[in-house]
Structure 1
Amino acid sequence: MYIYYPSCNFMKASPATEKKVKAYLKQRFNIGHTKCCRFENLSSLKEFTALTVCQACNEEIQRKEPTIQRMSIWEFIDQDTDFIFPDFKGKKMILQDCFRDAQNPKAYNAVRNIMLKMNIQIIELENKKENADFCGLLHYEPKDNKLKDVWKQYDNCKLSRLPLELQTQFMEEQTALYKNNLVVCYCNSCLRGIKLGGGNGVHLLDLVMQNQ
C-alpha cells in the first residue's frame, strides 16, 4: 500500500499541478495523501510505502519513522506503463541534480528515464548524480575565491542567513553554468535558488503532469 506525502513548498509554488498529482494517484490507484509530514502521526502508517516528491519530506519521514518504506514519485511514475507523458520534441534542457539525492540513485535514474520518455534531450552538468553539489540555499559550494572569503567573514553561517544581496551573488554564480538554458529541477530548494540567481528553472513535476 502507498500513501502520498505532498510537499507543502511545492503546493504553494504549483497548486494546480499538485491537485493533478493527487487526482492521478487517487483515480488511477486509489492512493490517498497525508497532511504535512512534520505534523502527521506516522506511527499509524508503518505498513504503507511513502511516496515523496520533496527531499525534506523524505528526510523527515526517515528521521521520525525509519522503518517506513519510501519511494520517490519519480520512481512510481517511471514504472507506470500507462502514464501519458507530454512530448517536448527533442527540446534541450539542463538537468540539475540535488545534493540531497546524491546517494539516491533510484530517484535520479528515474528522473532521467522520465525526461527521456518526454522526448527531452538532457544536458548534463559536470557535477551530477552522486557528485551533485547544489541544493539552492541549503547547500552550495562557491567556486570564486572572493565569494568564499566573503562567506568566511560571516563565519560560514547558513546561506539563508546571509544578506539577500550575497545570497543572490552565490546563486548567480551557479546559474552562470546554465547559459540561459531551461533548467529542470526535482527539488524545491534547487528551483528557488536558481530563480533567485536569475536562472530559467522549472520543476520536473510541472512538466510531467501537463497531460493529466
Structure 2
Amino acid sequence: MSMIYLPSCKFTSYSPEASKNIKNYLSENYDMQIGGCCRPDHKKLTNRDTVVYICNTCAAFCTEDSSAEKVISLWELLDNDKQFSYPDYGHKKMAIQDCWRVYDNTSQQKAVRRIIRRMNIDIEELDENYDKTNFCGVSLYEPLPKQNGDFAPKRFIENAEDLFLPHTKEEQVALMKEHGAKINANEVICYCTSCINGINLGGKKGRHLLDLMFGLEPK
C-alpha cells in the first residue's frame, strides 16, 4: 500500500515555504510519495493507495472519482503525530473558519481544532461552524468550474443548491465584508486558500493553519 500526499497547486502557490516544509516532513517521517496536481493525478490512484490531502477540492475529487482505498486530511494525519513540534502562540485569540467544501467532515474539523489548541491558541468559534458553515470565500459566488462538477457531482452539484451563482465583484466584496463583521478576532485561521482570500477581502487577517504550524507569517 502506498501513501500519497497531494500538495495542492493553490496552496503551494499561496505558501511555497510551508508547502516545501510539509513535503519534506512527510517524505522523511512517513516515506510518503509526493503527488502532483490532483486534477489529472487522481485518476491514477489505485485501491491500494491512501491519499493525504490539504486541499478540500482534491478531497472531493479523490473521494468521488478515484479508486483510492482511503482519503484523509493532512490534519487528521498530523493530529496523531507525536513527533511534530508545534510553536507556542501564548493563548492568542484567533477565530476558526470552517470550509463549506468539507462541511460534513467532522473528523477533519475536530482534528483542526486539536492542532490549534496544541499551539496554545484560544479559539473563537463562529455561529456558522462545523456543518453549519456556508463559506468558501468568493468561490461560492462564482460559476462552478465544469471539471469540478464532472469529478465530484455529489459535492459540487447535488449538495450545492443555491451556490455557485454569479455575483458581481462589488457584490462579492460586500458579502465578504458582511461575513467579516460577524467575527470578533482580527486573525482568522483557515485550512483553505479560497477561505483565506475571502477572509482577507472581508477586512480580517487570514492565517493558514499550516503556516501557523511552521511559524510562518502570511505573505
TM-score computed with the length of structure 2 as normaliser:
0.83
Q: Percent identical across equivalent pairs?
A: 37
Q: Pick from 158, 178, 184: which aligns with 2:164?
A: 158
The 2-side partners of 1:158 and 1:45 are apart by: 31
- Correspondences of 1:148-187 after superposition (within 5 Å): 158=164, 161-179=166-184, 181-187=186-192
Aligned-partner residue type, residue 173 of structure 1? E
Unaligned runs of 5+ in 2: 142-161
Aligned-partner residue type, residue 90 of structure 1? H
TM-superposed CA distance for 1:198, in Å, is: 2.1
The 2-side partners of 1:40 and 1:61 are apart by: 9
The 2-side partners of 1:88 and 1:188 are apart by: 22
Task: Provide runs of 4+ in structure 1 moved above 3 Å.
Answer: 41-45, 156-159
The 2-side partners of 1:24 and 1:101 are apart by: 25
Which residue is equivalent to 2:110?
A: 109
Task: Determine which structure has more spread, i.e. the larger CA radius of gyration.
Answer: 1
Aligned-partner residue type, residue 76 of structure 2? E
Preserved CA contact (<8 Å) 1:180 1:200 = no
Preserved CA contact (<8 Å) 2:48 2:68 = no
Which residue is equivalent to 2:29?
A: 28
- Correspondences of 1:1-212 after superposition (within 5 Å): 1-40=2-41, 42-65=43-66, 67-139=68-140, 158=164, 161-179=166-184, 181-210=186-215
Aligned-partner residue type, residue 126 of structure 1? D
Preserved CA contact (<8 Å) 2:46 2:68 = no
Preserved CA contact (<8 Å) 2:75 2:108 = yes
Pick closer, same or farther for the CA change 1:41–1:182 going to 2, 3 Å. closer
SS across alignment from 1:135? coil
Moved more, 126-135 or 12-21: 126-135
Pairwise CA RMSD: 1.9
Preserved CA contact (<8 Å) 1:62 1:68 = no
Aligned-partner residue type, residue 88 of structure 1? Y
TM-superposed CA distance for 1:67, in Å, is: 4.5
Offset from partner CA, 1:53-107 (integer Å, 9 cap, x none):
0111001112321553101000011100111111111111100111222210110
Offset from partner CA, 1:10-48 (integer Å, 9 cap, x none):
011101110001000011121121110101153444311
The 2-side partners of 1:83 and 1:107 are apart by: 18
